[in-house]
């Protein structure tokens, strides 16, 4: 996803509908505050494509390059740590 346009926050507020339309048609739009990027406005389609999981944790662990390496984790024995709750 390529950011196509930068919007100062005041412009983004006053032209919010245009910001949304450009996010839908041209890709994610960056809103700046004091000249620095603050947030990105993206279409639902772009967001879902980016946020979609490619694999489950089980798939990741089963396909780990360390699988079959002979590496065996050791459990450290000792006293329980106190935790302040």
Note whether 1 and 46 are within 8 A (CB).
yes
pLDDT, tens only, 53-85: 778 888 888 888 888 888 887 887 887 777 888
pLDDT, tens only, 8-22: 999 999 999 999 999
Q: Please tell me the predicted confidence (pLDDT) of residue 2.
A: 59
Q: The whole model's pTM is what?
A: 0.60
Domains, in order of start, for the chain: 5-52 (3.40.1620.10)
In 3D space, the residue among 11, 20, 64, 70 whose CA is nearest the CA of residue 42 turns out to be 20
Q: What torsion, rounded to 10 degrees, do the Cα atoms 59, 63, 68, 71 define?
A: -80
Q: Where are the alpha helices (DSSP H) in the chain?
A: 9-14, 16-26, 44-51, 57-62
Given pLDDT bands bounded at 50, 70 and 90, which one contains residue 1?
low
Q: Please tell me the predicted confidence (pLDDT) of residue 67.
A: 83
Q: Please tell me the predicted confidence (pLDDT) of residue 3.
A: 57
């Amino acid at each position: 996803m390529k950011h196509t346009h930068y919007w100062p926050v005041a412009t983004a507020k006053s032209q919010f509908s245009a910001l949304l339309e450009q996010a839908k048609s041209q890709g994610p739009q960056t809103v700046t505050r004091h000249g620095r990027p603050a947030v990105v406005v993206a279409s639902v389609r772009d967001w879902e494509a980016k946020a979609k999981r490619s694999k489950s944790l089980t798939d990741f662990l089963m396909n780990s390059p360390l699988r079959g390496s002979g590496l065996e984790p050791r459990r450290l024995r000792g006293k329980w740590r106190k935790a302040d709750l």
